[in-house]
């Protein structure tokens, strides 16, 4: 069902949109966690480290794909808010054309370079083969990443955050059974976890696609509207590519940091892997807030109502602060118990390092909330190129940690790398929002006079 976010209480709209989205993100992390739980308990610490060692390069490539899809959704949201239905449909059609092109090119390139990337990252010899077996299958599944994220972005742009969640939850449940079947029954090793992930996401993407074309009359395209249009494709690329690059630039810093962690030993990799899985689950609400503000900002800028943008920002920041405090308490009370989902109780050193990793991160969750809320709002307002610089600031901070701090201070420096990155990003993003707000206000005033 379409949802117009240009009318009604901003807080109620943000919550109503973000909660279903959060549910989907939690389940997305859930089936990622299931991979790690089954790998860790059935295949051992080295296998868990093998999967974990691919995390940053996975985010580098898959994050770019997800960012591009999210960027493609912004013009669609703006045209929906402006009630320009024909332009909306042309943007949808050209986003499909671009997704096919991007997915084909990226899949071929990264699959060919996969082994070299792992070697450049100094992946330990005892886990490099397992890492390759896992990540090559994930990369071959890039077309289904585009399929799900593009269809989900279109649905969210029209105000429907629930339907993608329903299909994602179904896929998550299927993923659990596929994990067990591929790893425990078929003995496929870490490759089985990757196969389960790709198949599950393919099913979710196909379900979104079928639902979208059957249920949304606004998306019934004419033959003319389905054609490739260079102008519309160019506008989509102007939004999507910077948004994808933002993820990738951020991930470059993560790759540098991961390389530094890999240089410590496989136990350090396992600690960061387990701690990262817990953290990714805990920060899902921030991701949901960010995606919500992209749609909220896009629709309200399309409607020319910056006052509602301001109210939405204040409401979402309040939600971010409240959740940050709740998450901090949860980490200190239950963090070690959550880590036992991935690690055996006998791995005391790894558990200790992982626990301190998530505790330090949790102290800085509100700066992370601001990163997501403000960055995605800026993108929704149509300034995705500007938001790329936030990713550059995060990259700089993690590169600083990876090149200078970790070699000298070891795992102690790893604990503070993410908080440093979030603070660096906020230093740029907060002034950037006021710049964007002022520029849009001037543009709207000139149009009205």
For residue 153, the enclosing domain spans 17-448
pLDDT tens figures, 234-277: 989 888 888 788 777 776 777 777 778 877 777 787 788 788 87
The CA angle 391-393-394, to the nearest 5 degrees, is: 65
Q: CB burial class (10 A; 0-12, 13-18, 19+) of residue 79? A: buried
d(C-alpha 179, C-alpha 274), whole Å? 18
Looking at the domain assignment, is residue 424 inside a domain? Answer: yes
Closest CA to 55 of 35, 38, 71, 70: 35
The answer as to whether 12 is a domain residue is no
Give the span between the Cα atoms of 437 and 449, in whole angstroms.
19
Residue 143 CA to residue 52 CA, distance in Å, equals: 22
For residue 114, being part of any structural domain is answered with: yes
Cβ atoms of residues 14 and 296 within 8 Å: yes
Rounded Cα distance, 173 and 208, in Å: 16
Give CA–CA dist 195/218, Å, rounded: 35
- Residue 2 resides in a domain: no
Q: Does residue 164 lie in a domain region?
A: yes
> What is the average pLDDT value for the chain, to the nearest integer?
84
Per the structure, the count of domains in the chain is 1
Report the C-alpha dihedral over residues 347, 134, 397, 264, rounded to 10 degrees: 40
In terms of Cα–Cα distance, which of 282, 287, 235, 257 is closest to 63? Answer: 287
Tell which phi-psi region holds residue 83, choosing left (phi > 0), alpha (psi between -120 and 50) or beta: left
The reply to whether 392 falls in a domain is yes
pLDDT digits (tens, 9 = 90+) for 305-358: 888 989 999 999 999 999 999 999 999 998 888 888 777 777 788 888 888 889
Please report the pLDDT score of residue 449 as a whole number.
61
Q: Is the dihedral of CA 213, 219, 222, 224 positive or negative?
A: negative
Contact 350, 343 (CB under 8 A): yes
- Which position has the token pair 């309200």? 300
Residue 366 lies in a domain: yes
pTM: predicted TM-score of the whole model, two decimal places: 0.71
Q: Is 7 within the bounds of a domain?
A: no
- Six-digit token pair at 235? 């506008």
DSSP state of 219: G
Residue 226, SS3?
coil
* Tens digits of residue pLDDT in 374-404: 998 998 888 877 777 887 888 888 888 888 8
Is there a contact between 155 and 80 (Cβ–Cβ < 8 Å)? no
**Ordered per-residue pLDDT tens for the chain, 449 residues:** 556 677 888 888 888 878 877 877 776 676 666 767 777 777 877 787 787 777 777 777 888 888 888 888 888 888 887 788 888 889 988 999 999 999 999 999 988 988 888 888 778 778 888 889 888 999 999 999 999 989 988 888 887 878 888 888 888 888 888 888 888 888 888 888 889 889 988 998 898 888 988 888 778 888 888 889 889 899 898 888 887 887 777 767 777 777 788 777 777 877 887 888 788 888 889 988 988 898 888 888 877 888 898 999 999 999 999 999 999 999 999 888 888 877 777 778 888 888 888 999 999 999 999 999 999 899 888 887 777 788 788 888 888 888 888 888 888 888 888 899 899 999 999 999 999 999 988 887 877 66
Instruction: Enumerate residues 6+ apart whose C-beta is below 8 A from 425.
Output: 371, 375, 390, 391, 393, 394, 397
């Amino acid at each position: 069902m379409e949802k117009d976010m240009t009318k009604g209480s901003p807080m109620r709209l943000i919550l109503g949109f973000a909660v279903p989205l959060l549910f989907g993100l939690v389940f997305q992390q859930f089936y990622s966690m299931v991979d790690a739980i089954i790998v860790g308990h059935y295949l051992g610490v080295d296998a868990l480290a093998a999967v974990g060692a691919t995390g940053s390069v996975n985010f580098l490539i898959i994050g770019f794909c997800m960012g591009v899809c999210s960027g493609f959704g912004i013009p669609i949201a703006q045209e929906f808010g402006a009630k320009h239905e024909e332009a909306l449909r042309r943007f949808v059609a050209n986003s499909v054309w671009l997704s096919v092109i991007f997915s084909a090119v990226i899949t071929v390139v990264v699959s060919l370079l996969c082994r070299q990337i792992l070697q450049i990252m100094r992946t330990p010899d005892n886990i490099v083969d397992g890492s390759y077996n896992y990540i090559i299958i994930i990369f071959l599944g890039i077309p289904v990443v585009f399929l799900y994220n593009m269809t989900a972005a279109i649905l969210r742009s029209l105000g429907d955050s629930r339907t993608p969640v329903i299909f994602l939850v179904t896929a998550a449940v299927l993923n659990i059974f596929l994990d067990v079947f591929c790893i425990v029954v078929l003995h496929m090793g870490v490759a089985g976890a990757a196969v389960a992930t790709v198949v599950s996401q393919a099913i979710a993407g196909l379900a979104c696609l079928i639902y979208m074309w059957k249920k949304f009359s606004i998306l019934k395209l004419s033959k003319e509207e389905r054609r490739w249009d260079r102008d519309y494709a160019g506008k989509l690329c102007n939004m999507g590519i910077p948004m994808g690059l933002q993820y990738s630039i951020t991930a470059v810093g993560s790759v540098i940091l991961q390389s530094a962690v890999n240089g410590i030993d496989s136990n350090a990799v396992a600690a960061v892997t387990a701690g990262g899985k817990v953290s990714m689950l805990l920060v899902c609400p921030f991701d949901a807030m960010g995606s919500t503000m992209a749609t909220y900002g896009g629709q309200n800028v399309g409607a020319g109502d910056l006052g509602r943008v301001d109210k939405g920002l204040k409401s979402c920041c309040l939600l971010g602060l409240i959740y940050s405090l709740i998450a901090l308490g949860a980490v200190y009370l239950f963090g070690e118990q959550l880590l036992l989902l991935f690690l055996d109780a006998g791995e005391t050193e790894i558990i200790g390092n992982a626990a301190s990793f998530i505790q330090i991160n949790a102290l800085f969750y509100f700066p992370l909330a601001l990163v997501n809320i403000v960055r995605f709002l800026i993108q929704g307002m149509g300034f995705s190129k500007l938001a790329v610089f936030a990713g550059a600031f995060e990259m700089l901070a993690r590169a600083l940690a990876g090149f200078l701090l970790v070699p000298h201070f070891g795992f102690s420096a790893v604990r503070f790398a993410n908080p440093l990155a979030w603070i660096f990003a906020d230093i740029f993003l907060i002034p950037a929002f006021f710049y964007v707000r002022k520029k849009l206000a001037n543009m709207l005033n000139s149009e009205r006079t």
